[in-house]
Amino acid sequence: MTDRITHSPTSKILAIGLSAAGVLFGSTVLACNTDNWNGGVSGTPLADSPPAVSRVSQLCAMIITAPGGVKDLSPSMEDAVNTRFYVKADDVTATTTIYGAFSDEDATSSLVNVTFDGSNFVFDAGAGASGNIPGLAGWNLVEMAWTSGVSMDFWVNTDANVDDPTGNVSASGGTMESVILGAPDSLSSSLTYDAYEARRTTNPGPLLICDADGSGAIGFDDIIAEINESFGDPVSVLAEGQPDCDLDGDVDFDDLIDVINIAFPPAA
């Protein structure tokens, strides 16, 4: 049994996929879609590339502008799951479910429910719910380590492999059988998702932000990738790594400066 729960070989949401989907090959944008989410799609989620959709990593992400989302049925009798995703919800004005995990494939028996109201997250694992956990404008990193009948640690904009949890709530019993990424019931504006991944025993951890070329390190090639995307005329070369250094939803001059400062830090 592998550590990764979802069946895809990638953690990309798009062409996807978040981890429950396929892989986008090559350096040009192919057809981004949600076809590989094996539980199906509800509403009208759009999987696309910039400028239509902001992304954290690689070439695509998913946006929903009306109630709906994508469902993953890959979990099977899971009693412990570690999850990571990035979400951007700047325009949300009312409490909205953004992630749910369930003990049945019909997604009617809730195990985990995460909401966002435009400013704060709330994490509910059935036997306990957190207070308001402040989020940020732009992209937010969300990580959770859930154990059935015990508890769920969660991290917001911190590294689950390095930092203490942002908080912890008690978890009700039951095995995880399905996950919905989206807002199935109501949505006041739009939600954008990227880089979903779920594992059984280890935390996925955050992406290497500013690694614009996706090489696993930050250096001169990332500066070139930032320049190509930010100043192409027209923009035609998307960086294949994580070029949005400040996670504001745009790749621009500020991100280039961030990469330069990391790759060639000023002398003290």
Q: What is the CATH number of the domain that holds 169?
A: 2.60.120.200
Q: Give yes or no: residues 174 and 248 share one domain.
A: no
As beta bridge partners, residue 82 has 145, 199
**pLDDT in the model for residue 134:** 98
Residue at a domain's end among 199, 230, 255:
199
231 lies in some domain:
yes
**CA distances to 50, 83, 100, 144, 182 from 160, in Å:** 28, 10, 20, 8, 22
Indicate the number of domains in the chain: 2
Q: Residue with structure tokens 């959709």?
A: 53
Which residues does 187 contact at the CB level (< 8 Å), separation at least 6?
Answer: 64, 65, 66, 67, 92, 96
Q: Give yes or no: residues 237 and 189 share one domain.
A: no
Q: Give yes or no: residues 75 and 190 share one domain.
A: yes
204 lies in some domain:
no
- For residue 180, the surrounding DSSP H or E stretch is strand 178-183
Asked whether 176 and 82 are in contact (CB, 8 A), the reply is no
28 lies in some domain:
no
Q: Give yes or no: residues 243 and 163 share one domain.
A: no
**pLDDT in the model for residue 188:** 85
Q: Give yes or no: residues 84 and 144 share one domain.
A: yes
Q: Give yes or no: residues 52 and 177 share one domain.
A: yes
Q: Give yes or no: residues 169 and 236 share one domain.
A: no
Q: Give yes or no: residues 132 and 63 share one domain.
A: yes
Looking at 40-177, which runs of residues are DSSP E strands?
Answer: 41-42, 46-48, 61-64, 68-72, 80-88, 96-102, 110-116, 120-124, 133-134, 139-147, 151-156, 167-170
Q: Which domain holds residue 245?
A: 220-263
Q: Give yes or no: residues 158 and 224 share one domain.
A: no
C-alpha to C-alpha distance for 40 and 163, rounded to whole angstroms: 35
Burial class (CB in 10 A: 0-12, 13-18, 19+), 23: middle
Q: Give yes or no: residues 181 and 50 share one domain.
A: yes
Asked whether 114 and 96 are in contact (CB, 8 A), the reply is no
Q: Give yes or no: residues 195 and 240 share one domain.
A: no
99 lies in some domain:
yes
In the predicted model, residues of the chain with pLDDT beneath 50 are 7-30
**CA distances to 30, 35, 245 from 25, in Å:** 8, 16, 23
Q: Give yes or no: residues 130 and 237 share one domain.
A: no
Joined tokens for residue 213? 């070329």
